[in-house]
Copies of this chain bind each other. A is one copy, B any other.
């Protein structure tokens, strides 16, 4: 069976659970027979955007490149999953305008919770003024206004968030239903 390509675009602050949830989705879609590529921040910085910094201009360039790869993959029947902070609404909407099936997923989590988790120790430093251009602290983050899915990683399990997304993709008829017998 040929499946339809689409782009699942995660956006949200550092540590909000974009990569974690995207990896669960990736696994689940593979099990349903789909072709999937995850383009997370690390993959992309390494392969497309080495040398770019964190100014607005450099961030926009980085996000546009991810968007273009998503566009090319999607139109060839692949599910492209982007999991980068992508803080600016205008650029996300620009990509939405180019990609045929664009599904925006907002990984929402309040900053105090992120600062308490602080897996990489970055929020502490950012809040102490030691990191410039840290999204949500010393650099803007513009939350989506019309995301197809929003999940709240401070009060949902990873599985709950992933299920919300899968349900939405099923409703949009972008993915096949999971077989009942498991």
Contact residue among B2, B65, B77, B78 (Cβ-Cβ distance under 8 Å from A48): B65
Tally of this chain's copies: 2
CA of A73 to CA of B76, assembled, Å = 9
Where the two chains meet, the residues of A that have a C-beta atom closer than 8 Å to any C-beta of B are 2, 35, 37, 47-48, 50-51, 61, 64-65, 68-69, 72-73, 76-78
Shortest A79–chain B CB gap in Å is 9
Among A48, A50, A77, the most chain B Cβ lie within 10 Å of the Cβ of A48
Considering the chains assembled together, what is the distance between the CA atoms of A76 and B73 in angstroms? 9
Of all A-B residue pairs in the complex, the 5 with the closest CB atoms, nearest first, are A47-B68, A76-B78, A35-B76, A37-B72, A48-B65
Q: Which residue of B lies closest to A2 (CB)?
A: B2
A61 adjacent to B50 (CB under 8 Å): yes
Contact residues in B for A48 (Cβ distance below 8 Å): 48, 65, 68
CB distance from A78 to the nearest CB of B (A): 5
